[in-house]
Amino acid sequence: MSIFRKCLVCGKKLIIKLNKDGTYSGGCYFGKLGVPDTKNWKRRVIRRSKIGNMNVKVVNSPPVKKVIEYWECKDCSIDD
């Protein structure tokens, strides 16, 4: 069985062959990636922290808009 994905680095079309034993070939899979919804994000300072001699504000995380699979082609992947 094969699935079609796109390399998130260069945009190349990938044909991923899925084997019955759970392995795959044709690309490198790095897991799922949450795409933030920054348009509808209400930024709030949730605490302050000290890094070295700087005082910084820590804000809340933006909501996740959608979750995508992170695939790279063999040329873009540095994982050999």
Does residue 38 lie in a domain region? yes
- Which tens digits make up the pLDDT trace of 25-59? 999 999 999 999 988 889 999 999 999 999 999 99
Does this model's pTM top 0.85? no
In a domain, 80, yes or no: no
Is 77 within a domain?
A: no
CB atoms near residue 13 (< 10 Å): 9
- Does some domain include residue 79? no
Total domains in the fold of the chain: 1
Residues of 20-31 as b/e, b for ≥16 C-beta within 10 angstroms?
A: eeeeeebbbeee
Q: How is residue 41 written in tokens?
A: 């994000």
Domain of 45?
Answer: 2-72
- Residue 20 domain-assigned? yes
**Residue 80's pLDDT band (boundaries 50, 70, 90)?**
low
User: What pLDDT, in 10s, does the model give residues 12-21?
Assistant: 999 999 999 9
Per-residue tokens: 36: 């933030």
**Cα gap 80→73, rounded to integer Å:** 11
pLDDT reported for residue 78: 81
